[in-house]
């Protein structure tokens, strides 16, 4: 059995995802005019997935920021 690797979005992909969202909106509009409802749904789903990845990127950035601000604690080995 094969395991799928989870796709972890990287913060440097943010611009690409914004482009995907814009492209999918343009595609949705064009497909609506052409009456291609299945393609409209695909374009909407593409935008939805890109937005989810953007949210994940924001969470990753927030986590990294919080982690860098974490105080360094040392254990007293003499206790």
CA dist 27 and 66 (Å) reads 38
Band (pLDDT 50/70/90 cuts) for residue 67 is: confident
> 3-class DSSP state for residue 65?
helix
Q: Is the pTM of this model over 0.95?
A: no
Asked whether the beta carbons of 12 and 52 are under 8 A apart, the reply is no
Q: Which of 2-11, 28-37, 60-69 ranks highest by mean pLDDT?
A: 28-37
- Rounded CA separation 73/66 (Å): 15
């Amino acid at each position: 059995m094969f395991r799928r690797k989870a796709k972890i979005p990287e913060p440097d992909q943010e611009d690409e995802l914004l482009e995907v969202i814009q492209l999918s909106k343009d595609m949705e509009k064009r497909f609506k005019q052409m009456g291609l409802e299945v393609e409209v749904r695909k374009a909407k789903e593409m935008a939805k997935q890109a937005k989810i990845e953007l949210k994940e990127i924001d969470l990753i950035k927030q986590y990294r920021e919080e982690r860098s601000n974490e105080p360094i604690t040392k254990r007293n080995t003499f206790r």
